[in-house]
Chain A
Amino acid sequence: MSKMMKSLMLYALSIIMLVTVAACSSNTPNDAANTTSTPKATNQNDPNQQNEQNDKKDEVEIRFTWWGDTTRNELYNAIVDRFEEEYPHIKVKREFGGWGDYWDRLTTQVAGGNAPDVVSMHQFYVSDYARRGALLDLSQVVDSGSLDLTNFPESAINSGRINDTLYMVPKGVTMPGWAYNTAVFDELGIDYPDMNWTWEDYAAKVTEIYEKSGGSLWGSVDGSGGQPQPNFRYFTRQHGQDLYTADGQIGFTEETLVKWWSMWDELRKKGAIPDAATGTEYENAPLEQNMFVTGLVAITQIPANQIYLYQQQFSEGEIRMVRMPTLAGGQNGEYIEGAYLSITEKSKHPEEAALFIDFFINSERSLELFKVEQGSPASTTMSEFVKPLLEPAQQRAVDFIQEVLPYATDAVYAPLGAAEIQQLFSDQASKIAFGQMSVEEAAKAFMTEAQAILQR
Chain B
Amino acid sequence: MKKDTVYEVRTYSSTSISKLSKKLLKHVLIVTIGLGMLYPLLWLFSSSFKPNTEIFQSNSFFPQTFTLDNYKQGWSGLSGVTFGKFFANSFFIVAMCIIGNVIACSMAAFAFARLKFALRKMWFAIMLITMMLPFHVTIIPQYIIFNSLELVNTYVPLILPKFLAVESFFIFLIVQFIRSIPGELDEAVKIDGCGPFKLYIYLIMPLALPALVTTTIFTFIWTWNDFFGQLLYISEINLYTVALGLRMFLDAMGQNSWGALFAMSILSLVPLFAIFIFFQRYLIEGIATGGLKG
A and B touch in the complex (CB under 8 A): yes
The answer to whether A288 and B278 touch across the interface, beta carbons within 8 angstroms, is no
Indicate if the CB atoms of B56 and A294 lie closer than 8 Å: yes
Give the number of chain A interface residues (Cβ < 8 Å). 61
Q: Is B251 touching A98 in the complex (CB atoms < 8 A)?
A: yes
Q: Within 8 Å of chain B (Cβ to Cβ): is A73?
A: yes
Known A1-B294, A313-B53; contact A29-B239, beta-carbon cutoff 8 A: yes
Cβ contact within 8 Å between B235 and A33 = no
Sorting the interface of chain B by its residue count into under 10, 10 to 19, 20 to 34 or 35 or more gives 35 or more
Chain B, range 252-289, C-beta contacts under 8 Å to A:
252-258, 260, 278-279, 282, 285, 287
A284 to B, closest residue via Cβ: B252
Docked Cα-Cα span, A100 to B251, in Å, equals 8
| Chain A contact residues, majority secondary structure | helix
Decide: A15 and B239 in contact? CB cutoff 8 A.
no
- From the candidates B139, B209, B247, B256, name the one contacting A288 in the complex (CB within 8 A): B256
| Also in contact, A72 and B254, with CB within 8 A (given A25-B88, A33-B238, A39-B80) | yes
Bound form: Cα–Cα A100–B228 in Å: 12
Q: Given A4-B294, A26-B89, A114-B152, decide whether A14 and B279 contact each other with a Cβ distance below 8 A.
A: yes
- Per DSSP, are chain B's interface residues mostly helix, strand or loop, or mixed? helix
Contact B237 A94 (CB under 8 A): yes
Chain A 1-45 interface mask (CB, 8 Å, partner B; 1/0): 111110110010011001101110111010011011001000000
Residues on A with C-beta less than 8 A from B278 are: 14
Q: Which residues of A contact B257 (CB under 8 A)?
A: 69-70
B87 interface residue per 8 A CB criterion: yes
Give B52-69 as 1s and 0s: 1 = Cβ < 8 Å from A's Cβ atoms.
Answer: 110111000000000000
* Cβ–Cβ < 8 Å partners of A36 in chain B: 238
A11 smallest CB distance to B (angstroms): 6
Q: Is the CB of B88 within 8 A of A3?
A: no
A22 to B95, Cβ gap below 8 A? Answer: yes
Kindly state whether residue A289 has any CB partner on chain B within 8 Å: yes
Task: Determine if B168 is an interface residue (Cβ-Cβ < 8 Å).
Answer: no
A114 and B149 alpha carbons, distance in the complex (Å): 12
Which A residues between 401 and 436 are near B, CB-CB below 8 angstroms? none
Interface flag for A150 (CB, 8 Å): no
The reply to whether the CB of B98 lies closer than 8 angstroms to some CB of chain A is yes
A452 on interface, CB distance cutoff 8 Å: no
Tell whether B154 is near chain A: CB-to-CB under 8 Å: yes
* In the complex, A271 has a CB within 8 A of chain B: no
Residues of B within 8 A of A212 (CB): none
Contacts A15-B102, A69-B256, A113-B147 given; indicate if A5 touches B231 (C-beta within 8 A): no
Q: Which of B102, B237, B239 has the most CB of A within 10 A?
A: B237
Q: Which residues of chain B (194-228) have a CB below 8 Å from chain A?
A: 202-203, 205-207, 209, 212-213, 216, 228
- Residue B31 at the A interface, CB < 8 A? no
Q: Which of A104-112, A253-261, A262-270 contacts B (4 or more CB under 8 A)?
A: A104-112
Distance of A34 from chain B, by nearest CB (Å): 9
B131 within 8 Å of A (CB atoms): no
Contact partners of A279 in chain B: CB under 8 A: none
Give the residues in chain B near A70, CB-CB below 8 Å.
Answer: 78, 248-249, 255, 257, 260
| B78 & A77 in contact (Cβ 8 Å cutoff) | yes
Q: Are B140 and A286 in contact (CB under 8 A)?
A: no
Whole-angstrom CA separation of A99 from B80 in the bound complex? 23
Known A11-B213, A113-B144: A23·B92 in contact at CB below 8 Å: yes
Chain A positions 278-295 with a Cβ under 8 Å from a chain B Cβ:
286-289, 293-294
Contacts known (A4-B206, A15-B99, A73-B78); A25 close to B253, Cβ less than 8 A: no
Contact residues of A between 171 and 223, Cβ < 8 Å to B: none
> Nearest-CB distance from A317 to chain B (Å)?
14
In the assembled complex, the CB of B171 is this many whole angstroms from the nearest CB of chain A, namely 19
In the assembly, what is the distance between CA of A67 and CA of B252, in Å? 10
A49 at interface, CB cutoff 8 A = no
Q: Does A71 lie at the interface of the complex (its beta carbon under 8 Å from any beta carbon of B)?
A: yes
**Is B56 in contact with A289, judged by CB distance below 8 angstroms?**
yes
A22 and B88 contact, Cβ closer than 8 Å, known pairs A1-B202, A14-B279, A97-B231: yes
| B residues whose Cβ falls under 8 Å from a Cβ of A | 52-53, 55-57, 78-80, 85, 87-89, 91-92, 94-95, 98-99, 102, 139-140, 143-144, 147-148, 152, 154-155, 202-203, 205-207, 209, 212-213, 216, 228, 231-232, 235-239, 247-258, 260, 278-279, 282, 285, 287, 290-291, 294
Could you list 30 examples of A-B contacts with CB < 8 Å? A1-B202, A4-B206, A4-B207, A4-B294, A7-B282, A8-B205, A15-B216, A26-B91, A26-B92, A32-B239, A67-B253, A68-B254, A70-B248, A72-B254, A73-B79, A97-B247, A98-B253, A99-B251, A101-B247, A104-B231, A108-B140, A112-B140, A113-B144, A113-B147, A113-B148, A287-B255, A287-B256, A288-B256, A293-B56, A309-B255
